Amino acid sequence: MVNRKRLYNISEPIQIFLYFSNIKEFRAIFEFSLFLWYNSIMRRIKMEKKKCSRCKKFKPIENFNNCKNHSYGKSSYCRTCTKEYRIKFKEKYPWKFTYRYILTRCYNQRSDHYKQYGAKGIRNFLTIEDLKSLWFRDKAYLMKKPSIDRKDPKDNYTLDNCRYIEYSVNSSKSHLTYEERKQSSLNAIKKP
């Protein structure tokens, strides 16, 4: 007699075969497991709509981003809900996005900005808490488009060397020398 409860705990096909009294029973169960596997694959291929976990609407599969970790290789939120979530998150925690950008510049070799930062030896020594304190210290929440700035462009991202300033000011001084940058920063601070 076959012990069915033990059968499902065994992974090796040869060991499974030993539990059956004849080859026909083994073949029937093996074909059924192949059938289930094939149906799960085909269900992924033929899937046309998916339910968004956030808005609870069924939408075409094209409205979901690719994601290896989620079921059927698609994210659980539709693109519209993902965009709304990112906007709200960025409004609530803007310093976390700054932190991600700094890490990308300094450590991701595929980044467009890596040549200007990480390749030149510039490293990050800031934490998310440090950026949060800088955000409130420099009153970045009052700025139109705040941007992280290193006072000394040749130095690393450290608490003493960084501050938030307007993006327009930060981008306009990228071609200046250290002394010129210092003077333009002082002028920008003096203008209320």
Residue range 54-65, pLDDT digits in tens: 999 999 888 988
Model confidence at 10, pLDDT cuts 50, 70, 90, reads very low
Q: Which residue in 122, 123, 105 sits closest to 114, CA to CA?
A: 105
Contact present, 25 and 38 (Cβ < 8 Å)? no
Mean predicted confidence (pLDDT) in 66-83: 85
The two tokens of residue 99 are: 């932190």
Residue 7, pLDDT above cutoff 80: no
Say which residue, 25 or 46, is predicted with more confidence. 25
Query: Percent of the chain at pLDDT above 70?
Result: 70
Domain with residues 48-92, CATH architecture: 2-Layer Sandwich (3.30)
Query: Percent of the chain at pLDDT above 90?
Result: 45
User: What type of residue sits at position 97?
Assistant: F
So where are the chain's domains? 1-46, 48-92, 94-190
* 74 vs 83: CA distance, rounded Å: 15
What's the half-sphere exposure (Cβ side, CA atoms, 13 Å) at 77? Answer: 9
The two tokens of residue 59 are: 């939408």
The two tokens of residue 20 are: 């059956």
Per-residue pLDDT, 6 = 46
Per-residue pLDDT, 4 = 47
pLDDT tens digits for 126-140? 999 999 999 999 999
* 102 vs 114: CA distance, rounded Å: 10
pLDDT tens digits for 43-53? 665 567 888 98
Q: Which residue in 25, 36, 30 sits closest to 10, CA to CA?
A: 30
Say which residue, 42 or 74, is predicted with more confidence. 74
